[in-house]
Structure 1
C-alpha cells in the first residue's frame, strides 16, 4: 500500500469507524439509561395516580384485567387482602416493597414501585425483560442513523481526499508528460503550501540541469572546435610526409607530425581530466592525501619540459601537509600549475612551489618569473580554451590548464586566487581546508 491516497483514505475511514463505534456505544448506553429512567418514571406516575381512586368491589377486582398490558397493577388493603389486579399472573409479586425495587419471582425479575396511600398499598410492576427489550430498541433507533451515515461519509471522504491530492497528481502528470529536453519550470501558482516546496525544488533541479546541459553543449562545441585544428594540422603533416622526397624533408615532416600528435594527445588528455572533475561526474571518494607529495610528483612530471627550456623547478615543503582529497585530481591540479608556469615563462626562468599549513588551511603557492598576467585578464584565465595571446607557448597549450585547476579546487572546497609573484611573474595560490 504505497499510494498516499489509499493510506490517507484508509486512515480516515478507520478513524471514522472507530469514532462511530465509540460514539455509538456512548449513545447506546445513554439511551438505555434514559429509557430506564423513563420507565421508572412511568411506574411511579401510574402508582401515584391510583392513590385517590375509590374502593373496588371484590367481585369486580379482576373485571378489568387485560393480559396485553406490560404493566401489572396490584392493590392490597393494609391487612394484605388483594382488592385489585390488572391481570392474573402466577408469578406476580405477593407483597410490596415501598419505593423502587427489583423483585425476583419464579426466576423472573420484576421492576416494581409501591406506595402506601390511606388504607391501601398500590404496586405497579413491569417485567425487567420487557423493559430491557424496549430500551434496547429505543437505543438502537438512536444509533441507527449514525450507522447509516457511515457509507455516505466514507464516499464523501474519498471525494475530499481525491480533491485535496489533485494538485499533487497534476504536478506528477506534468512531469510525466515532459520530454527529456523540456527543462522549463513547472507552474507554481495556486499550489497548496505542502506541494509548493516540492515544485520549487523540482524547478531548482530543472534549472540546474538546464545549466549543466548548456555547459555540456558548450563544452562539446568548444572541444570539437579545438580538436578540429590539430586534426587538420595532422592531415596536412601526413600529406607533407608523403610528398617529402629527400631524407631531410622527410625527417622534418616526421618531427612535425610527432609534435602534432603530441599536441592532440595532450588536448584529449586535458579534456578527459576536465570531464572527470566536472560537477556530476562519477568521482573517487575523498580521503587524506599528502599535498606536498602530490606537488612533488607533479614537478617531477614537468621536469623534462623544464629541462628542455632551461627552467629551474623548486619545491619548499617543511613536511607532510594533509588534505582531504583525490590524489589523482590533486596531482593534475599541481601538474597544470607547474606546466603553465614552465610554458609561459621565458627559457631559463624560475618556478617555485610552496606547500605549508596556515592555520586551518593547507596552502599551495606557485610562483614564476615570467611575464605575469594583467589584473584585468586574470579572471578570464579560468575560461575554457582561453589563451591570452598568440605566442609560441599559447599555441602549444590547450587553454584548459587553469579551467582544470578551478574545477579540481571547487571539487575539494578550495579557493584559487591570482596575484603578483615576488619573482616578478604570476603567483597562483590554492587554499585547501585541512584534513581532520
Structure 2
C-alpha cells in the first residue's frame, strides 16, 4: 500500500469516526430539543385556546346548554379539542382522533390512538379540559429533516476534505517521486551523487544517506576494477617470461617438443583470457573523453584491417544508409565488433561471413549484423550465451576462447544504450545483431 493511500485512509477513518460520534450526539440533542420545543408549542396552544374561550361564546351557560360541538379545520398530525368534565366535546379540530379517549389528566402524556402514538398536553380551564396533540412520527420526520439539512454539508465537507488531503499528500510526495524518476533514469554504472538542492527537509537525510552509499559503491567498484587491471598486468609479465622460456626450450628440445608446445598453447590461452578480462574491465568503466567515435564505418574498417588476409577475404561487407558518428568510444566499438567477427570467423567454419551495417534514415541508430554458416547454437545455448566464462559446444571442443567475448559485447552495448541479439539462421549458422546509438 502506498504512503499516500495509507495516509488518506488513516485520516479518513479518523474523521469518519469522529464525525460519526458527533452525528450521534447531535442526533440525540436534536431529538431532545425538538421534543422540548414542540411540547412548549402544545402547552402554549392550549393556553391560547383558553384565552380565546374567555372572550368567546364557546363556554355554555350551563352543562345543558351545549347543543352541537364546534368543529374547525386542523392540520395533518395536529389536533385540538375541548371537553367538559363529563367528557362532552365542546370544540375540536376536524379529524381529531382523540374523541375516543376518556377525559385526560392534566399535563403531558403519550397516547395510542388508532395505531398511532400522539403526544398530548391537557390544560384544565374551569369546568373544561383543553387538549392539544401532535403525532410522534411527525416529530421524527421534523427531526430527520433537520439532521439531513445539517448532515449533507458534513458529508460534502468530509469528501472534500479527503480529496484535498489526497491532493495535498500527492503534492507533498512530489519530491520523492522526482527522486524515484531520477534514480530510475540513471545508468546502472552511474555512481554520481544525487542533487539534493530544493529537496524538503524531511527528504534530505535520505538523499545524504543515498549519496553516502553511492560514494562507498563507487570506491568499491574502483577498487575492484583497479584490482582486476593490476592483477591482469602483473600476471602478463610472468606469463611472457614463461612463454619465452618455453619457446627457447622447444627449439632445444627433442622428443619433449610436443609437451612444450602444449604448455606454450596453454600459456597463450591464459594470456588471451587476461587480455579479455582487461578489456571487460575497461568496458565496464567510463570511457575517455578523447576516444570519440566520429565514424562507425571508420571503426568497422579498423576492425577489418586488423584481421589476417585469409580470414579477411571471407568477409562480405554490406552498407546501407549514410555514415554517422556514435557516442560509443572508438576503442569500445572496435572491441565489440572485433569480438563478434572473431567468433564468426573462428567458429563459423570456412564459409563466408556476412557483415551488414545499416543506418536508419534519421541517423540515430545503427544496426550491425554478423552472420555465419557454422554449426550455430541450440536454444539452450542461445539462452546462456553472454554469460561470463560460458562457452558453447564448438568452443569447448577445440576452441581457445575463454567465454568472455559475448560478455564484453553485451557489457559495451548495455553501457551505451545498445542491444545484442543472437538468432539461429535457417539452413544453419548464427546471426548476431548489434544495435547501437549513432549520430
**TM-score, normalization: structure 1?**
0.51
* Match of residue 73 from structure 2: 66
Deviation string, structure 1 residues 252-280 (Cα, Å, up to 9, x no partner): xx9xx99xx9xx99xx9xxxxxxxxxxxx
Task: Identify the range of structure 1 (184-193 vs 172-181) with the bigger mean alpha-carbon deviation.
Answer: 184-193
Q: 2:97 touches 2:113 (CA, 8 Å); kept in 1?
A: no
Q: Is the 8 A contact 2:80 2:96 kept in 1?
A: no
For each residue in 1:294-351, what CA deviation from the matched residue of structure 2 results, as whole angstroms up to 9, or x when unmatched?
Answer: xxxxxxxxxxxxxxxxxxxxxxxxxxxxxxxxxxxxxxxxxxxxxxxxxxxxxxxxxx
**Cα RMSD between the aligned structures?**
3.4
Matched with 2:116 is 108
Q: Is the 8 A contact 1:36 1:135 kept in 2?
A: no
- CA offsets 1:141-198 (integer angstroms, 9 cap, x no match): 2212222334333322321231222222222211111112221122334444553333
Q: 1:27-426 maps to which residues of 2 (within 5 A)?
A: 27-53=26-52, 54=54, 55-57=56-58, 58=66, 61-63=69-71, 65-78=72-85, 80-92=87-99, 93-192=101-200, 194-244=202-252
List alignment gaps of at least 5 residues for structure 2.
59-65, 275-439
Decide whether aligned partners of structure 1 residues 246 and 127 sit closer, same or farther in structure 2, where only a CA change above 3 A counts.
Answer: closer
Q: Counterpart of 1:56 in 2: which secondary structure? A: coil
Looking at structure 2, the residues matched to 111 and 89 of structure 1 have their Cα atoms a distance apart, in angstroms, of 13
1:379-402 deviation per Cα after TM superposition (whole angstroms, max 9, x unaligned): xxxxxxxxxxxxxxxxxxxxxxxx
Q: Secondary structure at the match of 1:52?
A: helix
Q: Secondary structure at the match of 1:96?
A: coil
Rounded to whole Å, the distance in 2 between the matches of 1:245 and 1:137 is 115
Number of aligned residue pairs: 254
Name the counterpart of 1:10: 9
Deviations 1:113-148 (A, max 9, x none): 122234533221112222222222222222122223
Asked if the contact 1:20–1:147 (Cα under 8 Å) also holds between the matched residues in 2, the reply is no
Whole-angstrom distance in 2 between the partners of 1:70 and 1:227: 108
Counterpart-to-counterpart distance in 1, 2:86 and 2:48: 22
Give ranges in structure 1 of 5+ residues lacking alignment.
269-436
Which residue is equivalent to 2:22? 23
Closer, same or farther: CA 234–81 of 1 in aligned 2, 3 Å: same
TM-score, with length taken from structure 2: 0.50
Q: State the distance in 1 between where 2:39 and 2:114 align.
A: 22
Question: What's 1:428 paired with?
Answer: none
Distance 1:220 1:83 in 2: 118
SS in 2 for 1:51: helix
Shift of 1:102: 0.9
